[in-house]
Amino acid sequence: MDTIKVLIVGAGPSACYVVDALAKTDLPLSIDMIDRYPQPFGLLRTGVAPDHERIKSLDTYFGKILDQAPLKFYGNISFGSDITLDDVKDAYHAIFFCTGTESDNDVPGLDYSLSNVAGSRDVVEWYNGYTSQRTHFDPLSLGNNVGIIGMGNVALDIARIFLKEPVDLAKTEMPQSCIDIITQQHISDVHIFARRGPAQAKCTPLELAELLELDTIQTLLDPSSITLSDTDMVEYNETKRVQKNVDILKEVISTKSRSKRLHIHFCSQLKEAHVNDGAVNGVTMAKTILSGDPHQQQTTLTDESYHVPLTSLISSTGYKGAALPGIVFNEKTHCIPHEAGKITTQPKSSATYYCAGWIKRGPQGVIGTNKSGAKETVDSFVADVASFSSKSLQPFDLAKTLKQRNHTYYSYDDWKTQNDFEISEGEKKNKKRFKLTKITDIEHCLKTNS
């Protein structure tokens, strides 16, 4: 069989699992992988909290997968601008989109152009050393009293990073410049606003316990807010995650007074963000009540409301995928419509198109969830392989095309050089890793270490 030419757009966890599943097919493959970041591993590097070192260390596992595959990596390449669908549609047998999510699920009525208002993506990329696409967020305007809307794991990550002691953050791969800013802000209070109750909190027990067990913080919540209704009790009895979350929350009611405080406000939805002098300085939250069947309870606003002064406000209300030029997209689910990973509406071309990861199923689940999803997608690819021999491809050399366009890209060898440098510099600084995220720093590292 002739070599099957594959392009993978994205180099995050789902893309790595696709490579793994492809390699296990034993088919003759040649894989090009592009990513808009200069380095591989996507969200693992730009999204996972820097103090989650066990999860971050999955880069070694993914590195081995990429090492062993017949693969060429091209970092710093955006699909749709640097390389277009027209460039590649007749140059590969199969194209996999593993582009994850691009932006935040914004909260209606919040003015994200203010420097002390941000979406979680802006914040998470910032504390990982990157600058998000949209951001007006200025971490210097966080102040000491931060509000976070949402109670998923990302909200907990942000709260934990803001409340952790700088000395503990310093050991992680978090850039020292970010730690210095957090230290300067003297964050003493973080408020988490969940629009539903404790039984509906989206976070997972491990992450909730990790935050509430920080020995520098006191958790404050109204005991009456964790009283469960009959419908909540059904959810509690039927779901281990709910049971554990609620039990963990019950335990914190009597924590000792400490210098940093985490306030958890349940059944609270944003009514108004108050702006003064171009900055949010507080919120009015409306109390909600829940109704509906177990596991499907939704909120209704009540007339009861309360005011909380804040120095900044972050929405952590989930992410959403973005449409890719030329690829049919569902604007409601923010995913690419597909059947078992094969894109439903195939663009007219020689290539057959697939998707995996969050662009396939939405932003749910942990990194490992991508493994079975990638396998399903690759199974669909394998089922199509026999048809590939009838497709005649146009000659195309990605490296040559990028060079002709004077577009700088970073190869997998470049990444290995950076990786070695980051780890050895990290050791010198007593950090897990000394991260390079700016192109100028990457160029300098490659010049001096290649």
Judged by CB under 6 A, the chain residues 44 through 73 that form the site for ligand NAP are 52
* Closer residue to ligand NAP (CB): 21 or 107: 107
d(CA 157, CA 127): 11
Binding ligand NAP (rule: CB under 6 A), the pick from 365, 405, 416, 444 is 365
What are the CA-CA distances from residue 401 to residues 10, 30, 34, 79, 91 (Å)? 19, 17, 13, 14, 12
As measured in angstroms, the least distance from the Cβ of 369 to ligand NAP is 8
125, 168, 137: which is closest to 260 by C-alpha?
Answer: 168
* Closer residue to ligand NAP (CB): 51 or 376: 51
Of the ranges 57-65, 152-160, 277-285, 392-400, which one interacts with ligand NAP (CB under 6 A)? Answer: 152-160
Of the ranges 12-20, 150-158, 177-185, 422-430, which one interacts with ligand NAP (CB under 6 A)? Answer: 150-158
113, 110, 164, 141: which is closest to 317 by C-alpha?
Answer: 110
Which single residue is written with the structure tokens 């002739």? Answer: 2
Secondary structure class of 104 (helix, strand, coil)? strand
d(CA 24, CA 40): 20
As measured in angstroms, the least distance from the Cβ of 362 to ligand NAP is 9
d(CA 178, CA 169): 10
Of the ranges 65-73, 135-143, 159-167, 311-319, which one interacts with ligand NAP (CB under 6 A)? Answer: 311-319
As measured in angstroms, the least distance from the Cβ of 307 to ligand NAP is 18
Binding ligand NAP (rule: CB under 6 A), the pick from 364, 372, 387, 394 is 364
- Does 202 engage in binding with ligand NAP (CB under 6 A)? yes
Secondary structure class of 183 (helix, strand, coil)? helix
Residue nearest to ligand NAP (CB): 152
As measured in angstroms, the least distance from the Cβ of 202 to ligand NAP is 4
- Does 194 engage in binding with ligand NAP (CB under 6 A)? yes
Q: Assess contact for 326 and 347: CB atoms under 8 A.
A: yes
As measured in angstroms, the least distance from the Cβ of 420 to ligand NAP is 27
Residues linked to residue 71 through DSSP beta bridges, in sequence order: 31
* Closer residue to ligand NAP (CB): 317 or 418: 317
* Closer residue to ligand NAP (CB): 31 or 199: 199
CA 147, 153, 158, 160 torsion: positive or negative? positive
d(CA 117, CA 102): 18
Contacts of 306 (CB under 8 A, 6+ apart): 268, 284, 285, 287
Contacts of 292 (CB under 8 A, 6+ apart): 231, 298
Residue count at the site for ligand NAP (CB under 6 A)?
25
Residue 185, token pair as written in the block: 């802000």
d(CA 235, CA 171): 39
Binding ligand NAP (rule: CB under 6 A), the pick from 56, 89, 93, 196 is 196
As measured in angstroms, the least distance from the Cβ of 156 to ligand NAP is 7
Binding ligand NAP (rule: CB under 6 A), the pick from 74, 126, 127, 319 is 319
Judged by CB under 6 A, the chain residues 88 through 147 that form the site for ligand NAP are 105, 107
As measured in angstroms, the least distance from the Cβ of 13 to ligand NAP is 11
Cα-to-chain-centroid distance, residue 191: 21
Of the ranges 72-80, 140-148, 153-161, 275-283, which one interacts with ligand NAP (CB under 6 A)? Answer: 153-161
Residue 69, token pair as written in the block: 């595959």
**Residues at the interface with ligand NAP (CB under 6 A):** 52, 105, 107, 149-155, 157, 194-196, 200, 202, 207, 316-319, 363-366
